[in-house]
A and B are shown apart, each in its own frame.
Chain A
Amino acid sequence: MTQAMTQLGFTQEAFDALLQARDEPAWLQEIRRESWQKYQQFDWPARDEEEWFRTDIRMFKLDKFNLPLEQNSIDNMPTGLLCDGLELGGQSISLDGYSAHSELSADLASKGILFGSLAGLVKTHGDILRPHIERQIVDRDTDKFSALNAACWSGGHVLYVPRGVVVKEPLHVLSVLSNGGADLGKTLVILEDGAEATLLTETESESDTAEGLHCGTMEIVLGTDAHLRYVSLQDWSPRVWHFAHQKAIVGRDSTLQWTMAAMGSRLAKVNQHVALAGEGAQTQVNGVLFTEGKQHLSYHTLQHHEQPSCRSDFLYKSALQDKSRTVWRGMIKVDAEAQRTDGYQRNDNMLLSNSARADSIPGLEIEADDVRCTHGSTTGQVDDELIFYAMCRGFTRKEAIRAIVIGFFQQIFDRITIESVRDALGDAIARRVREYD
């Protein structure tokens, strides 16, 4: 492909070139064409929409980027933080959405597990993946970004675990963005009835100064009595625009433990939606946000109780440095038939500078009458007495603040069952804590 072909922006010409370049089933190309039409019909989000009221994307210019039309390569491929010292069952790495490396142990492959590049596996195992792609777990009609991803996803990852198969070794996914690159990845995780797995995903940029765009989707489907432990780390460079729609559908008596940490990007706008779609489903979502500089991270969560006797527990904690800002909007939605719901959501914010700002907007929308739903939010600064106490014990001021910040997040780290992952997240945050007067 010529250089000119890769510099077409997000034009009709670029979309046509994408379709032509991809050797994929006709049904998938039809979905792409329909989604492209939707994308063209959507306006960019208006600033007076409640969801975008606090998130200013006027400086985001899509035409600065190009639809990734071919495999890219970089000299120094990052390796990620989460898999050090772990015995993995498989690993899938992408660059600008295109698969750069994929492996799965022979033992797991023999059990019928699919893991690796979505673009590749949709061609070889379309019979399994097609229904999940066609059902649009993330609704492409949500906004311009969801439609863009549905039309133009260039790659991404997939994990499929068949009925009754238990995967003991963690599986690792790393998505890398090159400088100036765009990643329109689509990640699909399917656990059939009785299946069990642990998935680690993380994102990283080519360098700390690399610009980029990520417009992605994450889709999770758990059948009956399936169990997924999922840890995700968003660690793009602070010059990356990050837009993501994430949705999990949790089936009857299934459990989803989702721990996410977000430290990167210039601006992040993430919609995280967990649908408790089967009686007795349970989810625990733990969020860690750490921001610095002028980063703006905006997370919008929805815990949707669609069926009776489900339990959801969302806990988000943010620590903010410099002039950074976080926005958290959380909603517990309980349908009329979802009796005996137990829903909880909480957002705690720690402001490490006088110029940081955290907006916290919890919400409840309850149509059933036999429920227990609670929510809470706290925002405060580091307690000077704690710093004084730690310094009396020989800590420097910076060490004291670092220990307090790590302690603030400890409640979430304690919920991560893989020790090395817990340590990696803690270390990554500790390295970024600066000293404040």
Chain B
Amino acid sequence: MAEFIKVAKVTDIPNPGKQMLEVDDRLVVLFHVGDVFYCVDDVCTHDGGPLGDGELVDGTIACPRHGAQFDIKTGEALCMPATENTIVHQVKVDGDDVLVQINDE
């Protein structure tokens, strides 16, 4: 099991907002919504598009290329053309720090 890695300060990311990060040689997107943080791979499972460049609406992120949508809490693919979930990473807040545990599936 990978360790939690400090990736940002709570105040670094607006609420609601998102930020693309490099964590442990991997690109992920950290979301800040309603005082809670979520983290998913920065990869649309349809064709590898960068989710971090997409639009965040009501707890979903849309791929900027073809509009596939994913639930930022579960990584579930919510609409075509994506049919496979994207990978979710564990997040915890320790004081002012946001930490991510990479899910190395």
Contacts and interface: CB of A to CB of B under 8 A. Distances in A.
Interface string A377-413: 0000000000000000000000000000000000000
B12 interface: no
A53 B65 CA distance: 10
A432 interface: no
A181 to B, nearest CB: 19
Contacts of A53: 47
Contacts of B26: 59
A390 B48 CA distance: 36
Contacts of A58: 27, 50
B22 interface: yes
B3 interface: no
B25 A59 contact: yes
A53 B46 CA distance: 13
Given A54-B48, A56-B27, A59-B22, 8 more contacts: A47-B50, A56-B48, A56-B50, A58-B27, A58-B50, A59-B25, A59-B26, A59-B27
13 contacts: A47-B50, A53-B47, A54-B47, A54-B48, A56-B27, A56-B48, A56-B50, A58-B27, A58-B50, A59-B22, A59-B25, A59-B26, A59-B27
Most buried by A among B22, B25, B27, B48: B48
9 shortest A-B CB distances, which residue pairs?
A: A54-B48, A58-B27, A56-B48, A59-B27, A47-B50, A59-B25, A54-B47, A59-B22, A56-B27
Interface of B: 22, 25-27, 47-48, 50
Is the interface on chain A under 10, 10 to 19, 20 to 34, or 35 or more residues? under 10
Contacts, number: 13
A30 to B, nearest CB: 39
A176 B77 CA distance: 43
Contacts of A56: 27, 48, 50
A53 B48 CA distance: 9
Contacts of A54: 47-48
Nearest to A323: B105
A47 B50 CA distance: 9
Interface in A274-329: none
A358 to B, nearest CB: 13
A47 B53 CA distance: 11
A288 to B, nearest CB: 24
A59 B27 CA distance: 8
Contacts of B22: 59
A47 B49 CA distance: 9
A92 B26 CA distance: 37
Interface string A47-75: 10000011010110000000000000000
Nearest to A357: B48
B65 to A, nearest CB: 8
A59 B50 CA distance: 13
A59 B26 CA distance: 8
Contacts of B27: 56, 58-59
A265 to B, nearest CB: 15
B48 to A, nearest CB: 6
Nearest to B45: A357
Contacts of B47: 53-54
A58 B47 CA distance: 16
B41 to A, nearest CB: 11
A54 B25 CA distance: 19
Interface in A245-288: none
A54 B22 CA distance: 19
A52 to B, nearest CB: 11
Contacts of B50: 47, 56, 58
A87 B26 CA distance: 46
A58 B41 CA distance: 14
A54 B44 CA distance: 11
B38 to A, nearest CB: 21
Nearest to A354: B84
A356 to B, nearest CB: 13
B26 to A, nearest CB: 8
A59 B47 CA distance: 18
Nearest to B47: A54
Nearest to B84: A355
A56 B47 CA distance: 11
A53 B64 CA distance: 13
A59 to B, nearest CB: 7
Contacts of A47: 50
A59 B21 CA distance: 11
A400 to B, nearest CB: 27
A363 B98 CA distance: 47
A309 B50 CA distance: 45
